[in-house]
Amino acid sequence: MPRKDDGVPQEEAQEAAQLHETDVLIVGAGPAGLFGAYYAGFRGMSVTLVDSLPEIGGQVSALYPEKAILDVAGFPTIKGRELISQLVAQAASAEPTYLLNRTANALTVGEDSVTMGLDDGSEIVAKVVIVTAGIGKFTPRPLPAGDGWEGRGLVFFVPSFDEYRGKDVVIVGGGDSAFDWAHQLDGIASSITLVHRRDQFRAHQATIDAVLASDAEVITKAQVTALIGDDQVEKVEITKDDGEVVTKPAQAVVAALGFVADLTAMKEWGLEFDKRHIKVDTSTRTNLPRVFAAGDITEYDGKVRLIAVGFGEVATAVNNAAPLIFPDQGVFPGHSSEGS
């Protein structure tokens, strides 16, 4: 699969509707899903990951790629983007198939397989499904003034920074993603303007302080009310609450306004939910045969939602799925250090 400069696989090109066959289908390409892909390969399984986002990494890539994560074993501190890059490199040993920018929307459980329908008409036939979908399908909140501008300079993610080198960038939002990207683009972009509708922010204070101390211009109590240009955005119109209108040059506009989560499709699969989470037992089995779940999407007595916990849960799911895929194998895989 083609890769970007940071080693993270790019979105697989949309193809005509087709049939994919795999041992394990993982729904969700966030940290738990990526580690599950590695572990499935370690157990000798073929693995396919599907995700509704165009980028690998789930909430980490979408919401806090530059945030320092402090609770992953073995890393005193690691940025979200670096963690995803390491997980992708680890998962590469399994040679997984990534189906990105596609939504899993129909599930049929058979006697010895599970069939998953995707929104592009494709189908995946798997022996086991592991759901690691975090908060479910989530889509970016739209920028009201951005209708028709996506792909013409308006984006919702900043997967890599180099493409913004020398550009005037306007970032809309006041959360971690907005400030992370403003901080990281300092010294890369020609100019950075951050626009937020309030004068209070939801990002980490250290990042806020770094952006305020940088060359970035922060405009509060204001909204982007128009994008202006021909084929590509060239400038934006910003309207302040007091009625003042200012115009800023912009060859790129990043709408970091958060996301809307949607569990509708999964709830139609017949899975048992506890409000917004899938109920699982201690082996991570759901109420459906051959369907497991791990990570933030799950619920059980004593559940703790940490990335580190998700890693353990998805390994548990893969190991308990192994006898369903290879009837001659047991749940316990042996230790990875054995025979090394």
**Residue 121 belongs to a domain:** yes
Predicted pLDDT of residue 3? 42
**Residue 338 belongs to a domain:** no
Establish whether 90 is an annotated binding residue.
Answer: no
Predicted pLDDT of residue 18? 86
- Neighbouring C-alpha atoms within 13 Å toward the C-beta of 255: 24
**Residue 13 belongs to a domain:** no
**pLDDT average per 10 residues of sequence, the chain (340 residues):** 48 62 96 97 97 86 75 91 94 96 92 95 96 81 93 86 94 92 94 97 92 97 97 97 97 90 84 92 97 96 94 97 94 72
- Yes or no: say if 31 and 58 are a contact pair by the CB < 8 Å rule: yes
130 & 266 share domain: yes
The amino acid that residue 334 corresponds to is G
**Residue 332 belongs to a domain:** no
Number of domains in the chain: 2
Predicted pLDDT of residue 91? 97
Q: Residue 207 contacts by C-beta under 8 Å, 6 or more apart in sequence?
A: 66, 67, 176, 179, 180, 183
**Residue 237 belongs to a domain:** yes
**Residue 269 belongs to a domain:** yes
Establish whether 39 is an annotated binding residue.
Answer: no
Establish whether 51 is an annotated binding residue.
Answer: yes
Establish whether 64 is an annotated binding residue.
Answer: yes
239 & 314 share domain: no
Predicted pLDDT of residue 69? 87
Give CA–CA dist 69/60, Å, rounded. 10
User: Residue 235 belongs to what domain range?
Assistant: 142-257
Predicted pLDDT of residue 252? 97
CATH number at residue 29: 3.50.50.60
41 & 64 share domain: yes
237 & 91 share domain: no
Establish whether 242 is an annotated binding residue.
Answer: no
Predicted pLDDT of residue 13? 42
**Residue 236 belongs to a domain:** yes
267 & 121 share domain: yes
pTM attached to this predicted model: 0.73
**Residue 98 belongs to a domain:** yes
- Of 257, 289, 312, which marks where a domain is finished? 257
- Neighbouring C-alpha atoms within 13 Å toward the C-beta of 292: 28
Establish whether 300 is an annotated binding residue.
Answer: no
248 & 304 share domain: no
Establish whether 337 is an annotated binding residue.
Answer: yes
Retrieve residue 8's tokens.
Answer: 């993270």
